[in-house]
Amino acid sequence: MKRRDFLNYTGLGALGVATSGTLAGCSNDEPKVKFWQQGNFRPVAEEVTLTELKVEGTIPPELSGLYVRNGTNSSTGVSEHFFGGDGMMHGVRLENGRAAWYRNRYVDTPVYRKEAGGFGAPQPENTTSAVSLLYHGGELMALGEFGYPYLINPDDLSTKGPYNYDGKLAGNMTAHPRIDPATGELLFFGYDVMEPYLTYYRADKGGTMLQVEPITMSGPSMIHDFAVTQKYVVFMDMQVRFSWLSAIMGSGLPFKWDDSAPCRFGVMPREGSDADVKWFDIPSCFIFHIMNSFDRGDEVIVDAARYDHLWVKSSHDFHYHAHLSRFAMNMKTGQASVERLTGGPMEFPSVNRQRWTRDYRYGYSVAVDKENNAPEKVATSESGLRKYDVVTGEIDEWLPGLALEPGEPMFLASQESGGEDEGYIATYVYDKNTQTSAFCIFEATKLSAGPIAKVQLPVRVPVGFHGVWVPDSVMA
């Protein structure tokens, strides 16, 4: 079967992910009541622009720039999977101690405009671009899991169009690239369900592509993230695999746990080739998100949110907890180890991005309720934010109770040359009682003290994925 025919048949042409497969809705594993159409998971109906926003507390005056977060928001109100809605950005502009505006805008793609869908031509621009955002080479980009990135105007969050690095991007681009904070170099990858299963890319600080390198994998693995150190990149070849049966049955995403598949990390020099990849077997697991990674002597260290299993029944099977774990790959001995670091169930790990690729001390995450391990139980779950000291093992938490639901924590530096945790943590927080949201800012050194500023929004910001902070000093 040719690639184009294959993608048309399975509905993967618009995967990013509009996976209305051949027999969508016919799987016995599909949930009867879809959690992503309930509570704060459900999409919002309108794009809005709000000014003269009320602020409780004080916004630090040195914070001038744009915070914007991406996520799925089905324009029809219905999608076959939690990851399957259209991309929608939610942004707050900070200026001189005030919140100048809030906007939410769809990423304007052919899928959103209904010009392409699950059975459309498998063009890389046919993506929902709904997972994260990146600012690099003077451009703000919305990123999905499949397809090209989309350029976004930071002044109003309007969509400028798809971007393919002057034709050097073969197709898919990850939603989790890494920028080297010292050189500005961008390192990323794209994965696919057809060979080459993974392709590695490097671009210089201006966005000029420097390297395109196909990587040999054991098969079509789902690869959401990867790790970068000052010397190496680390690829994950894990046990959530493309499934023909899931593709044919249309049960959400065509990926499923495979006990027989290998579980390993591939470590390659940043400017190396496929022949230079050194593979390390690791205990069975799956990882969506890396917290940080760095070199330590002969070892490559990767700290990540590790699941023992995921999507065992189908891609709707989210009934598992992730825990912060440290992987160590010894480049001399060829041995790998893993240990669980301190802290309970968590997700959306993050750090001060000036520490990307380097040894670090502090990390942040969403704290997940250990008693309720399924999204549909969110109404009775207690979540919060957590700060980790990975050197001492100390933890600082903000646990606001059942009524408030925070999203991914984003570190905002107070100054370019400050200490690792000299700055702020920002996120959207949903209030179940009022069914509205607030943009909240915390002091990173005193997370448990609660927000020092709340930008009250008379609208709801749904559960979403990843964001970016773009200070004016970077956009200047």
SS3 10: helix
The structure tokens listed for 341 are 């670091």
Residue 3 pLDDT exceeds 60: no
65 neighbors 469 (Cβ within 8 angstroms)? yes
**pTM for the model:** 0.92
Strand ranges (E), 144-208 = 150-152, 159-162, 178-179, 186-191, 198-203
Kindly indicate the confidence band of residue 14, based on its pLDDT and cuts at 50, 70 and 90: very low
How many structural domains compose the chain? 1
Q: What is the tens place of the pLDDT at every residue in 166-182?
A: 999 988 999 999 999 99
Kindly indicate the confidence band of residue 21, based on its pLDDT and cuts at 50, 70 and 90: very low
440 neighbors 451 (Cβ within 8 angstroms)? yes
Q: State phi, psi for 228 to the nearest 5 degrees.
A: -135, 130
The structure tokens listed for 473 are 């000093």
According to DSSP, residue 215 is labeled: E
According to DSSP, residue 9 is labeled: H
β-bridge partners, 83: none
Q: State phi, psi for 446 to the nearest 5 degrees.
A: -140, 55
Q: What is the tens place of the pLDDT at every residue in 372-394?
A: 656 656 655 678 999 999 999 99
Dump the DSSP string for 14-63.
GTTT----TTTT--TTS-SS-GGGSGGGSPPS---EE-S--EEE---TT-
SS (H, E, C) 63-105: CCEEEEECCECCCCCCCCCHHHCCEEEEEEEEECCEEEEEEEE
Residue 446 pLDDT exceeds 80: yes
Predicted local confidence at residue 88, as pLDDT: 98
Section 210-223 average pLDDT: 97
Predicted local confidence at residue 343, as pLDDT: 76
* Chain position carrying tokens 């077997």: 281
Identify the CATH number of the domain in which residue 205 sits.
2.130.10
d(CA 141, CA 150) in angstroms, rounded, equals 5
Structural domain boundaries, residue 147: 3-475
Give me the chain's average pLDDT, please.
89
d(CA 370, CA 363) in angstroms, rounded, equals 20
Query: C-alpha angle 209/214/217, rounded to 5°?
Result: 145
Predicted local confidence at residue 311, as pLDDT: 83
Predicted local confidence at residue 377, as pLDDT: 62
Residue 16 pLDDT exceeds 60: no
Secondary element (H or E) of residue 176: none
Residue 359 pLDDT exceeds 90: yes
d(CA 100, CA 65) in angstroms, rounded, equals 10
Residue 81 pLDDT exceeds 80: yes
Dump the DSSP string for 386-448.
EEEETTT--EEEE---TTEEE---EEEESSTT--TT-EEEEEEEEETTTTEEEEEEEEGGGGG
d(CA 38, CA 215) in angstroms, rounded, equals 40
CB-based burial label for 128 (10 Å; 0-12, 13-18, 19+): buried
